[in-house]
Amino acid sequence: MNQIRKTEPLLTTPPESFVNAPPTPPPTESKLSARVLSAVALLRRRKDGLAVPEQPWCTFRLRPGEFEEIRQLLRADKALWAYVNDKAR
């Protein structure tokens, strides 16, 4: 014997009835600039004794906040952080 099921209407809110758009999640990760990555890579090469520029001084023009990003990357690598505090200062 076949039973016929009576389906109930779906109770969903149509998208046009929202007053405000639903919240978007925060960005997962911000990308580091090439300047930040270059500065950290140079320090890593110096620590490892690899080829480095012949100039004793190397400068990087940083934007606001990039110096702190460099410090965070250095702190994440304990050996590199110790090298920078001991030799590169």
Both tokens assigned to 61: 């023009």
- C-alpha angle 79/29/39, rounded to 5°? 40
Question: Distance between CA atoms of 65 and 63, rounded to whole angstroms?
Answer: 6
Question: Distance between CA atoms of 84 and 59, rounded to whole angstroms?
Answer: 15
Contact between 61 and 35 under an 8 Å Cβ cutoff? The reply is yes
| Residue 65: pLDDT over 60 | yes
Q: Between 88 and 37, whose confidence is greater?
A: 37
What type of residue sits at position 83? Y
Predicted pLDDT of residue 58? 82
The pLDDT tens digits for 1-45 are 566 666 666 667 666 665 666 566 666 567 889 999 999 999 999
In this prediction, residues 72-86 reach a mean pLDDT of: 94
